[in-house]
Amino acid sequence: MNTKRLFAILTASALLVGTLAGCGGSKDASTSESGGETGTVKDVQVWATGSDNVRQTFEKLVSDFNANSEYVGTYEAKLNFILSGTGGGTLADQLVAAYKAGQTDTEFDVVDLGDDDLTKILSLTDEGILQELDMSKIPNAEGVTAEPVAAKGKIQPYRGTTVILAYNSETVPEDEVPTTMDELVEWIKAHPGRFAYNTPGTGGAGDSFVRTSIYNFIDDESALMSNDPKWMEQWDEGFAFLKELHPYMYKSGSSVVYPNKNQGTLDLLTQGEIDMCPNWADMVLSQRKAGTVPEKIKITTIEPSFTGSVQGITVPSYSGNKEGGFAFIDYLLSPEAQTILVQDMAAIPLVTEGVDLTGAEELMSMDVSNFRTQALGDLVTDLNARWDEEIGTLG
């Protein structure tokens, strides 16, 4: 299938069920000649979603897979990327639709999935939507100890990411840097207007701050891994806490302002408008490396921590090229691919041997096995809507 036509279908908000019904048959992309023999190179359709920096990184990964990996001459990866927040059916929606329509041979060969999307997909279908991974075809996974939040054996973690506390080391002395949530609250109240978090519906850092603020008041830690609506009944205390913090947040003029997107808070921190904010470790480190965030901006973790996760990659059960999907997963766990992930987006590597960590050495202090993971599924929509109504409208 022509990628441009496929992208046009996506942006027009059409579900891929009908489109993909007859496109699984031929995957042959080109022929290559070696020693006078002609071999078939098979397309591997790679699907991912996220912000633009994720798109840029996947473009580089796909290019390197096609040019330098051990699979050159056997497979050629094709990237299908859905930019988050562009409307239309999400990648998760389209995966569910294809499964429920009984598709068996589609161009969903290998798919990048975060915890929320994985939880949503499994809540709407079952684990039959995902192919059991053939680990004999993914030798680079040996030694990777990180585990997915669900569907173990059917989704392979390949990078880590976490929300941290970013701060200006010139205005926040080392002995005043919070190490716990209680200390952070004390600091916020002692320095009104110098802290900000972005609106939760516009970026994962603010979303993580809101989620952990609310779920810190729920004794059962498993609640962070559940999409059961029963937990909504226990949100009240957390929302009362956020209302209590509201007057101490960043102000423009005399009004409290919650910045738009993760970049919004990071820009305020960089410009000296605030001294502290939650943000993604990879975002801060990659921009600091690029010179757009000054060296004075440091990162730290607190207890209880903000949420982190391991990003996973999977092969749908209706993939038309499962072997190619396994090959791409194996490549993602190679030192070369892990170095691209570190250098381009400061992702926390799950493989360290042979990986270049120059400029991102702080990542090695972050143990993915200790991440406070979360996967709320569709509860995220309800939580963000309640924040918009109760916190976003406060004067």
pLDDT for the residue numbered 369:
63
The yes-or-no verdict on residue 376 having pLDDT over 90 is: no
More confident residue, 18 or 331: 331
| pTM score | 0.72
How many other CB atoms sit within 10 Å of the CB of residue 162? 24
CA 184 to CA 247: how far, in whole Å?
Answer: 15
Peptide bond before residue 304 is cis, with ω within 30 degrees of 0: yes
Domain 162-308+376-391 in CATH 3.30.1370.140: no
Per residue in 178-201, pLDDT (tens digit) is 999 999 999 999 999 999 999 999
Which of 53-57, 108-112, 246-250 shows the lowest per-residue confidence on average (mean pLDDT)? Answer: 53-57
pLDDT for the residue numbered 15:
39
What is the residue type of 176? E
pLDDT band at 392 (very low <50, low <70, confident <90, very high): very high
Find, among 268, 101, 237, 251, the residue nearest to 168 by Cα: 268
CA angle in degrees (0–180, nearest 5) for 12-16-18: 110
CA 263 to CA 256: how far, in whole Å?
Answer: 18
pLDDT band at 247 (very low <50, low <70, confident <90, very high): very high
Strands (DSSP E) along the chain, which ranges? Answer: 28-34, 37-50, 75-83, 110-113, 155-168, 251-252, 255-256, 276-280, 297-300, 308-314, 348-349
CA 218 to CA 230: how far, in whole Å?
Answer: 12
The yes-or-no verdict on residue 214 having pLDDT over 70 is: yes
Tell me the percentage of the chain whose pLDDT exceeds 90.
Answer: 63
pLDDT for the residue numbered 89:
67
The yes-or-no verdict on residue 124 having pLDDT over 60 is: yes
Tokens of 349: 């590597």
pLDDT for the residue numbered 207:
93
DSSP string, 304-335: SPPBEEEEEEE-BTTBS-HHHHHHHHHHHTSH
The yes-or-no verdict on residue 146 having pLDDT over 90 is: no
Count CA atoms closer than 13 A to 158's CA, side-chain side. Answer: 29
The yes-or-no verdict on residue 238 having pLDDT over 90 is: yes
Sorted by where each begins, the domain ranges of the chain are 42-160+309-366, 162-308+376-391
pLDDT band at 366 (very low <50, low <70, confident <90, very high): confident
Q: Which CATH architecture has domain 42-160+309-366?
A: 3-Layer(aba) Sandwich (3.40)
Mean pLDDT of 136-146: 92
Topology match between the domains 42-160+309-366 and 162-308+376-391 = yes
Per residue in 41-70, pLDDT (tens digit) is 999 999 999 878 889 999 999 999 999 999
Tell me the percentage of the chain whose pLDDT exceeds 70.
Answer: 88
pLDDT for the residue numbered 139:
97
pLDDT for the residue numbered 36:
37
Tokens of 170: 């010139």
Which of 81-85, 150-154, 191-195 shows the lowest per-residue confidence on average (mean pLDDT)? Answer: 81-85
Per residue in 286-298, pLDDT (tens digit) is 899 889 999 999 9
